Chain A
Amino acid sequence: MKTEARNLSAPFLASGSVTLGPSESGVVDTQRTSIAFRKPIMLDEIRFQASIALDLTGNLATINLGDNVRARIQLGRFAMSNSFVPIWHFGSRLNLEHTVDSSTVDLGVFRTNISHFRWRLPRPMFIPAGQSVITEFFRTPLTQSALDATCWVSYAGRYLAPDVEIPKETCVPYVTAYLLPQLRSAITSVATGQSGENDLYNPFSQPFHVQRAIGRLLQVTNDGGAVRSYLENSSPNANAIGALANRMNIKMWDSYGREIANAPPLADISGGSMSIMVPFNDAFVYPRAAWTFHRTMSARERYYVQWLDTNPENVDSMTPSVSIVGWRKETL
């Protein structure tokens, strides 16, 4: 076997972490995530893990950190996200993302909440030798807890031979998200909202190839005025099928006014018609939290999302968010 062909495509994984309190941000140490021996790699997957140990003597019992922890990812001058995007908005759901471990200590009871997310890139991305993907994490403010969370990111891929021909262009994945400025509070009168022009937007002067749209519903449960949990709403809730499942509805359309997610209008009692919005968990079916469709957005094209909460006075609040995941070509 010739020397230059050895380790032609050996696998590679690098990880790094930061510990953040609420409203703090931090950049993952690039020394840990840089590729050793200055070799080029093909990056296939980015993984996130966030964990927090909650004191169970407090009110907050469970938290899925997918919304609370946000990441901004960059490779040199190539942005891979439109800003800080919640870490559950990069990849679709495959399986259980959130687990809760408990340990008993002499002084009290702690419960470690661990949230895992995986983003299989829509196209493998070429990382030139000597460069590294930079991830910056940010945590949003959190009521009921000022505890630190440990945020990990891993980059998984494979080495390329040192003499591989550097491509003239590479596929750079990109995620753009529509997020509410803050979590909706319980018993709110605000029942509807709409994304802005810079949310689900292709900011590039070239086509953006959409892989999927991801939709997440953060449900904040309250108990006597105190927040008990931040978890993702699951429509297969035996107590709430037909209620919580259809409580949040959405409508989507593009820059040209073409409807993407909507339902046919029904006649109302006055003889007119009203547009029915699609239940959130029908558009972003719960097992995947995603809607995979392959479409190319033109330069500067955008999508709009309007949401409607049919029961905003419920003690449990629901905050929707939507992201578009895809890739574009960039010249190296």
Chain B
Amino acid sequence: MKKYILKRNIEIRILEILCFVISILTISPLIYAFVVSFLSPNCIYSKEINLSMLDFTLTNYQTALRRVEIFKYLSNSLIIALICCFTRTLTSFMAGYAMTFMNFKGKNIVRKLILLVSVLPQEALFIQNYSTVTKIGLTNSYIGICSIYIVSALSILICIQSLKDYPRNIRDASLLDGCNNYYFFTKILIPTNRNTLFAVIFTNFVTIWNVYLWPIVITNTDEMRTSQIAITMIKGRDSPDFGPVMAATILSIIPIVIVFIIFKSIYKESRIDFY
């Protein structure tokens, strides 16, 4: 018995070490980018790792901010992410509410439609979507960039899954009191489903913040580009300047990582169920 417990402890110790090593490996590119963004060019290009040679400067950040107006692009990304996040959560909760609480004639067809749309690769259809949006004349506009991302079938699936477990007697009681659907939706359903609301808001925000292909297709002026595109524009022609590029990268990562960490610490136990 003692041998067994000893062996268990060794196994767990090995796993702990492994876990620690892999976590260092996972986070090392980010730490490396953070460190390089503060180093001067002499230090970056030198061959040896000499800790005494490190000198920390802010010139990389100054160069990055001079070459590319990071904050303008960050605000573009923020506006697009907020608009799309809002419309996506609103439409997905509305559709989830209708699918779970109401019975109507074409419900099965709509369910199959939602599944079908969630499976389609929407990014691959950017050619025809580009054609549609330019015909309307919405190139280089916030609405043009947001147009593809207004609804999300996956968010509807998440909402349906979580609203299925919602207690029915609340709804029945409200119906008895003469509450119409709109009132129930805004005053009762949304405030009580805060977990799902935050999960949907957060996943959609991160998804829209990180899109690359559609904004680069639909915008051709520099003013309208998002932060993901802007930091790739900072690359020089032949070889990238590592300091300013890393500085720009860190500047564009910081907002989203802060949001991420805040969200993770508020919303500790995430339960994402499927189907």
Q: Do A and B come from one complex?
A: no
